[in-house]
Structure 1
Amino acid sequence: MTDVTPSFDAATASAAYRSALQVIAEVEPRVAEAIGAELADQRDSLKLIASENYASPAVLLTMGNWFSDKYAEGTVGHRFYAGCQNVDTVEALAAEHARELFGAPYAYVQPHSGIDANLVAFWAVLAQRVEAPALQAAGARHVNDLTDEDWAALRHALGDQRMLGMSLDAGGHLTHGFRPNISGKMFAQSSYGTDPATGLLDYDAVAARAREFRPLILMAGYSAYPRKVDFARMREIADEVGATLIVDMSHFAGLVAGKVFTGDFDPVPHAHVVTSTSHKSLRGPRGGFVLAQPEYADAVDRGCPMVLGGPLPHVMAAKAVAFAEARRPQFTAYAQAVVDNAVSLADGLTRRGARLVTGGTENHIVLLDVSGYGLTGRQAESALLDAGIVTNRNAIPADANGAWYTSGVRLGTPALTTRGFGAAEFDRTAELIVDVLSNTTPTSTRDGSPSKAKYVVDGGLADKTRAAAAELVATHPLYPGLELS
């Protein structure tokens, strides 16, 4: 397999980290110890968290510098603070790399996280679709120019809009209009699901729901849907009902950047606005960004002060480095390997009798239904962790155990692919997973009913599997050659 791991000079990186930890230890040695322990833990972990990855030393080191000390509200060349010329440089570079990487006409790289990126997008749409017409009707140029009566009417209009997004149990995300999240407090929300028989999106059903609900925003994207989405079809649905299509590609941005998702499955040409995180499958620093069509660019550019405070210049600098890395041919090979490995993992699980939601995968996610083992997702997640396999429990369509205990476990391939895992290693991983789940049994509560949280793993299987997992990761070391001592 083509080398898909980030390249770096091990000797230089080792010297950099040793020096940094020495400086930190002079002030608070316990923090330096925790940093070193985290690297050791990650090196020993068989990590299958779909939303996690390993950033390169170049990306990580970019975040520890003097940009952290700078306030830079505003945009490039138009700051509310003096002395931002160097921040302008790195923000402009990050936006340039993002535009080129994704083929987008406009990029905004200030959001601190994925939810911040979504908030910027939501309020940009509200400003463009609701606020701007209200100002025009009132003959005002700014909300401060409105009369009290006009402002009261605008506030009511801004708070009376609708969003249609994928349901949580079908694989949607909390930030797509659900009440515990701020998005669910901003919008009246309705959901579309998946076909009960196949677990796949039914675009005709989505269109019917959109015609009935008439949303201002149609959300597409997912955190636990193991298939491609036809964004061209989603745009047709949005256009038919006059909605703005926002695609949250946080989970699969690396597959778009790596040109695995193209044509109808690339959200950038079809969505009005695209939001994303810069980590996960993109392998960058923790943060967010927004891509937009030109008609929404000015509204998105007002993310600060609309919903954001001061941007994080050191993280924007790291985004520039990560986007530059993703523009290299090596990243294209990496993105394809992520999907190939997910297929290998899914095949390995299926051959051993596991049930997968939708029957397989077309992206980086494998969603495992553990109810056939008599387990909840919480029990499965914990038993696998005892055995050295790091996953997360996740709801599945029509989940009888709800969002806390769940009936599923979500598996992802980006992190282990970064370490160099291929088909053979993922098949072995599938074997270990099935072995653990097949030999885990729920225990009883005090009243004798089956527990949804407690369990027992047969004999010494957890220790045996942990040793096997350690053997697997040892063959593909994390940051090879990087030594802290």
Structure 2
Amino acid sequence: MRHDSVREADPAVADALEGEIERQRSTLQLIAAENHVSEAVLDAQSSVLTNKYAEGYPGARYYGGCEHADEVEQLAIDRAKELYGAEHVNVQPHSGTQANQAVYYAMLEPGDKILSLDLEHGGHLSHGHPANFAGQLYEVEQYEVDPETGYLDYEGLHAHAEEYQPDVIVAGYSAYPREVEWERIRAAADAADALMVADMAHITGLVAGGAHPSPVGIADFVTGSTHKTIRAGRGGMVMCDEEYADDLDTAVFPGGQGGPLMHNIAGKAVGFHEALQPEFEEYAEQTVANAKAMGEHLQEHGFELVSGGTDNHLVLVDLRPSHPDTSGGDAEEALEEAGLVLNGNTVPGETRSPFDPSGIRVGTPAITTRGFGEDESRTVAHLIARVVDAVAEGTEDEVVPDVRETVENLCAEHPIYE
């Protein structure tokens, strides 16, 4: 993969791009929100559609010359409808956060009530954190996971909803390793006469591939990112019933965005096409199987997992029981040096700063795309354990170079972007 034209025009940027390609080739991406898109998606996202303004929607644009932009956006819409069985899809949001913003803008007034999962328990900033627009514009209360089991406390959520009477209940999470029981959250929303928003940003691909139950048809709105487990163009999308379609579309444009990023929408269309192929179901199932294998092997090495395991693409490790003096930030730094790129993460009952939390989050979407199976995932878990143990023992200088060599060998056996 070369950037000859960039090198001729701007060597500094070319150096950075080529450095990033090499970084991805030679390290293992274990951040649960990341993946490796196909070269077809990369091509679509770098296409001449980056030149085109297409404010509005297919067949109703505010600019001329949109016939091909219309074709591409309609393909993305139709393919998303087929993937998820949705009545209405808007593929213009620039990100998952802006997808959530559009729903709030369509259905809420400033000061209306949101009930969502606490960030430390696996929620997301755009679900109502005080630092985010959602927490500043709306009144927000938050529910939690059960402190004993690490599972969502559905009964507590139901009682909280009846007492708080929110206008919206948000489901869907950034660091929750278990299958979400959408119907139980729907019941809580119905009891409070609230709308239900399912943010499936992380599990868009798992739902498309049948590896996780779908919230479509259960939630009033389903939002998501299009570049995580689904491996499509970077951005967001919203799905809803036809009764909300006009309000939603108006909230996206002109309510919250101007011209859509048509090159990204082209990447979404290509990625959705890939997800409609039979082999994508195998990918989704393997992503979950790899996470389960990784989690079980980490447990064998003495690590404690939030909720005791995983049903999806990520494992959330609480370092406090096994490595009480090692923070997630310390572990992240040493692991990255070893070529294992993941993130420190808050855990339920967090006692440290969010900038240096008590856990690490490990995801399998990208390594599954590289062709890893359960055996390789267990090897990765073993390498993670070696590095974290070394951090606790102060022996990183001895262990990290050896682990780095093993990682490079694994990368060479499973190459990307040749």
| Residues 439-479 of structure 1 deviation map (CA, whole Å, 9 limit, x = unaligned) | 2138xxxxxxxxxxxxx444411111111111222211113
Structure 1: runs of 5 or more not aligned:
1-16, 127-157, 443-455
Q: Residue 94 of structure 1 aligns to which amino acid in structure 2?
A: A
TM-score by length of 1: 0.84
Q: Residue 460 of structure 1 aligns to which amino acid in structure 2?
A: E
The equivalent of 1:14 in structure 2 is: none
TM-score by length of 2: 0.97
RMSD of the alignment, in Å? 1.2
Deviation, 1:215, is 0.6
Among 458, 464, 469, the residue aligned to 2:407: 469
SS at match of 1:322: helix
Q: Residue 283 of structure 1 aligns to which amino acid in structure 2?
A: R
Deviation, 1:30, is 2.5
Among 6, 17, 26, the residue aligned to 1:44: 26
| Residues 96-148 of structure 1 deviation map (CA, whole Å, 9 limit, x = unaligned) | 0000011111100001111111111111222xxxxxxxxxxxxxxxxxxxxxx
1:185 aligns with 2:123: no
The equivalent of 1:124 in structure 2 is: 106
The equivalent of 2:416 in structure 1 is: 478
Contact 1:383 1:457 survives alignment (8 Å): no
1:335 aligns with 2:335: no
Contact 2:334 2:396 survives alignment (8 Å): no
The equivalent of 2:70 in structure 1 is: 88
Deviation, 1:25, is 2.0
Deviation, 1:183, is 0.8
Please show how residues 254-403 of structure 1 align to structure 2 within 5 Å. 254-262=205-213, 266-302=214-250, 303-371=252-320, 372-373=322-323, 374-403=325-354
Counterpart-to-counterpart distance in 2, 1:457 and 1:292:
53
Please show how residues 28-43 of structure 1 align to structure 2 within 5 Å. 28-43=10-25
The equivalent of 1:213 in structure 2 is: 164
Please show how residues 64-143 of structure 1 align to structure 2 within 5 Å. 64-126=46-108
| Residues 188-221 of structure 1 deviation map (CA, whole Å, 9 limit, x = unaligned) | 0000001110111111100011011111110001
Contact 2:233 2:266 survives alignment (8 Å): no
Counterpart-to-counterpart distance in 2, 1:419 and 1:109:
27
The percentage of counterpart residues that share the same residue type is 43
SS at match of 1:72: coil
The equivalent of 2:41 in structure 1 is: 59
Contact 1:48 1:416 survives alignment (8 Å): yes
Contact 1:355 1:368 survives alignment (8 Å): yes
Deviation, 1:428, is 0.9
Counterpart-to-counterpart distance in 2, 1:259 and 1:56:
21
| Residues 60-90 of structure 1 deviation map (CA, whole Å, 9 limit, x = unaligned) | 0111222111111111111112221111111
The equivalent of 1:448 in structure 2 is: none
1:231 aligns with 2:179: no
Contact 2:346 2:354 survives alignment (8 Å): yes
Alignment length (residue pairs) = 415
Contact 2:121 2:144 survives alignment (8 Å): yes
The equivalent of 2:203 in structure 1 is: 252
SS at match of 1:274: strand
The equivalent of 1:447 in structure 2 is: none
SS at match of 2:119: coil
